[in-house]
Chains A and B, each alone.
Chain A
Amino acid sequence: MNVYQNVIIGTAVLATSIMLVFMLLVFRRYLSERADAKRDQIDRAITKSYLRRVAGYPYDNAKSWTKARRLSAIMRILPLLRGGERERLLQIVELDGVMGSILRRSHSLREAERVTAIRHLQRIRSEVCIGRLRELLARDPSPRVQLEAAFALAASESLPPPRETMRILGMLDRPPKRIDVALLRATAPHYREQMVLLLEGDLSRQWRAKIIDSLGWSGDMRVLPFLERSANDLDPEIRCAVLRASAKLNHPGAAELVLRALKDREDAVRIQAVNACATLGLKEATGTLLQMRHDEQLWVRLRVDQALRKLSTRSQEPAQLRAVG
């Protein structure tokens, strides 16, 4: 056989294999479409059975119901149940071995499979699930899986203390990403004091700013004196973070430091201060903001216009603006 005959045979084999795979997929889809009605019927029966079991009524439990179908029914029911009913359903999930299949999946060699398992664990949120999620966060070899586990724990408000989360995810070895800030913010309501302690340590200015920003999400007004102190930091990034946190806390006690920041020498800080004025609804800032319409920095002027519009909408008193503007 010459080289061209080999090319012909090779191409023919490749094309035939691909065609066969495609035909199998079409056939699978055809069968799946034909079984749609039956599948819906089974899904309804499983859902009904679980709801009856939770309420303590007699129920059907066909052995032919696969764990995958049971799991999808449970995922549909779970968000509808609260308190004791939810607890009972979670017990049934464990008794039926459905939880076991999710836990096995969370040990899969394939990263995508483990992430799918994490998403199920997040939705169930039982103690076993939280435990397994913590284990994945701490010991999974894949950073992406660890991050997904952290997300799941954050959504369940069960993230470990910030120092641990940052160490496990290796946050301090790289510049902060938006996703890290989301995790820190999720931690803040539970670990305010630990976050303040973290700031006493040796952190880069970027990370300091992100942690200060997250303190705004703690919902705890006791951080205000700390923010007040940091408002005089030499680093403009820190001063910006203080203003974002103050705006988020939405406490009148922050008004003074925000008004002071309107006169900051750094335009980035002035922009954050202007935004904070709008968020806090600081009408007393209107005069300064009107003067800032002539700020030398274009971006400051743009934000001032936006803030004035917001404040005038809030106060329903645009007359003053019209008179001056």
Chain B
Amino acid sequence: MNIETLKIVAADIILWIAFACFLVVALRNSISLLQLAIAGWVFSTRIEPSESARELWRRYADLALPVSVIAPAFNEELSIVQSVKALLALEHPDHEIIVVNDGSADSTLDVLIEAFDMEPADLPQLAELQKTRILGTYSSRRFANLLVVDKENGRKADAVNAGIGFARTPLICIIDADSIIETDGLLRASEPFMFDDGKLVAVGGAVRIANGCTIKGGALQKIGISKGMLPRFQVVEYLRAFLMARVAHAHTNTLMLISGAFGLFRRSTLIEVGGYRHDTVGEDLELVVRLHRHMREQNRDYQIAFVPDIVCWTEAPAELGGLDNQRGRWQQGAMETLQRHRRMIFNPRYGRIGMLAMPQIVLEDILGPPAELAGYLVLPAAALLGLLSPWMALAFFFVSVVFGCALSVGTLALEEKQLRRTPSARDLTKLGIAAVVENFGYRQINLWYRLGGIKRFFRNDTTWAAVPRVGLGNE
């Protein structure tokens, strides 16, 4: 084989890579555009929740299924009292709070005992799903619906599993310790169960970034926009994920992810599948995929719904280090889930989940990030070398970056038209600018962090580092 032949082979390889990158990115964005259109249709035809419709629920409160809210807590001594007070104040006819102290090294447990007048209680654990030892259970003398479970340190999945075991209600709401639930968020999220004839197994709710908002006493006082660009980019990202992708997925009955920050599940189904897995860093995605798999393998008619109204606010990492850690973990979690449930991919036995939803995760999480990142390098280089038309390189830029801007701005327009939760025109403009700017740098950095997650997956790295946060209201 001479040099000329090698050159031709190399050129062919570069061309194929370029075409593949172009195709993957174009396909991803076409799916996103379709999702935006579906979300637009869903929002424009949806019947908004009304105050008067809830009149009947108030009158017949016992018809609302009781809910256990499980709040795992690890070293939360500074904020736990306020968080629990906010949870106790949630609007719902019948809810209990189960705080799981996940072996905190600080005085989280003592603070709880003192603030809520807790006493040791011999509460029976109805299902043992956790891997670690339960050290004690406490009930409050002042609040009949507050329980605390003290256990050895595990991870969030283990803490939640311990909480599920102590829950005695038909519904379980799983939140993060730093989630801020809207006062009527629990009620809104549980409303689909009122219309349900037994098929509904889980409901997800829209989560939004709380950085820049005014938080007092563990509750949201005023919506605001962060001063930093990084949280603003994430506001746009969350809107895209929750208002566009998940609304479209739920509408087509292919919802594959219920955020760990807020999710409502039928207790019996959670126990059937064994709760969260302990050996993955993407336990929230894995749980929903496993729910789909379990229900389909048993040929059971089921539904996983999504409430597009915002039910929960969460803090986003304000520094690149935290973002790197978070995105790497999400990527690794997605790959672990795909590996574990690989037989579902393109398997007609799993219906639209196997044929559409799982391949879409492959496209988004396995092929997407490396293809787009490679495209940024290969296409301009190939055009400069004269291997492909400069129009193709320019078209790649349009398909990835310009199309990305359009999708982000389109989601903002959807939010403004349908939900109107951005406080002012000024804030909306700030988010509009962030939606455009994020495509020049932030998007690419994110792809790089996701490659880090792929590397961690192949190294089988199971270490888990907390995402550093500045604390809500401390900006």
Contacts and interface: CB of A to CB of B under 8 A. Distances in A.
A81 interface: no
A112 interface: yes
B441 interface: no
B327 interface: no
Nearest to A114: B47
Contacts of A29: 416, 424-425, 428
B395 A8 contact: yes
Contacts of B391: 2, 4-5, 8
Interface residues of A, number: 48
Contacts of A322: none
Interface in A170-189: 174-179, 181-183, 185-186
Interface in B41-62: 44-48, 50, 52-53, 55-57, 59-60
B399 to A, nearest CB: 6
B46 to A, nearest CB: 7
Contact of A175 (B57, B60, B198, B406): B198
A123 interface: yes
A154 B196 CA distance: 20
B63 A22 contact: no
A267 interface: no
A182 B403 CA distance: 48
Contacts of A21: 410, 413
Contacts of A23: 432
A122 interface: yes
Given A22-B432, A26-B428, A182-B60, A144 B47 contact: yes
Interface stretch (A12-20, A50-58, A227-235): A12-20
Contacts of B417: 25
Given A155-B55, A175-B198, A302-B124, A115 B413 contact: no
A4 B425 contact: no
Contacts of B52: 119, 122-123, 151-152, 155
B60 A302 contact: no
A114 to B, nearest CB: 9
Given A25-B416, A111-B47, A151-B53, A179 B195 contact: yes
Contact of A112 (B46, B395, B409, B410): B46
A151 B56 contact: yes
A226 interface: no
A182 B168 contact: no
Contacts of A181: 60, 63
Interface string B171-199: 00000000000000000000001111110
Contacts of B209: none
Nearest to B36: A18
B378 interface: no
A249 B136 CA distance: 40
Contacts of A182: 56-57, 59-60, 63, 194
Contacts of B46: 112
Interface string A120-143: 001100000000000000000000
Interface residues of B, number: 49
Contacts of A26: 416, 425, 428-429, 432
A288 interface: no
B56 A25 contact: no
B196 A177 contact: yes
Contacts of A22: 409-410, 412-413, 416, 432
A302 B168 CA distance: 9
A15 B405 contact: yes
Contacts of B392: 4
A175 B194 CA distance: 13
B52 to A, nearest CB: 6
Contacts of B413: 18, 21-22, 25
Given A29-B428, A144-B47, A15 B53 contact: no
A110 B409 CA distance: 27
B462 interface: no
B194 A11 contact: no
B402 A177 contact: no
Nearest to A244: B62
A8 B402 CA distance: 9
A115 B46 CA distance: 10
Given A26-B432, A152-B52, A155-B56, A14 B406 contact: yes
Interface string B380-423: 00000000010110110011001101100110110011000000
Contacts of B405: 15, 19
Interface in A100-124: 110-112, 115, 119, 122-123
14 contacts: A2-B389, A4-B389, A7-B26, A11-B395, A18-B409, A19-B405, A29-B416, A30-B425, A112-B45, A112-B46, A112-B47, A119-B53, A122-B52, A177-B195
Interface of B: 26, 33, 44-48, 50, 52-53, 55-57, 59-60, 63-65, 124, 126, 168, 193-198, 389, 391-392, 394-395, 398-399, 402-403, 405-406, 409-410, 412-413, 416-417, 424-425, 428-429, 432
Given A11-B399, A29-B424, A119-B53, 17 more contacts: A4-B394, A5-B395, A7-B395, A15-B402, A18-B413, A22-B432, A119-B50, A122-B52, A151-B52, A152-B52, A155-B52, A175-B197, A177-B196, A178-B196, A185-B59, A298-B124, A302-B168
Interface of A: 2, 4-5, 7-8, 11-12, 14-15, 18-19, 21-23, 25-27, 29-30, 33, 110-112, 115, 119, 122-123, 144, 148, 151-152, 154-155, 174-179, 181-183, 185-186, 217, 298, 301-302
- Give the top 7 A-B pairs by smallest Cβ distance, nearest first: A15-B406, A4-B391, A4-B395, A30-B425, A29-B425, A11-B398, A7-B395
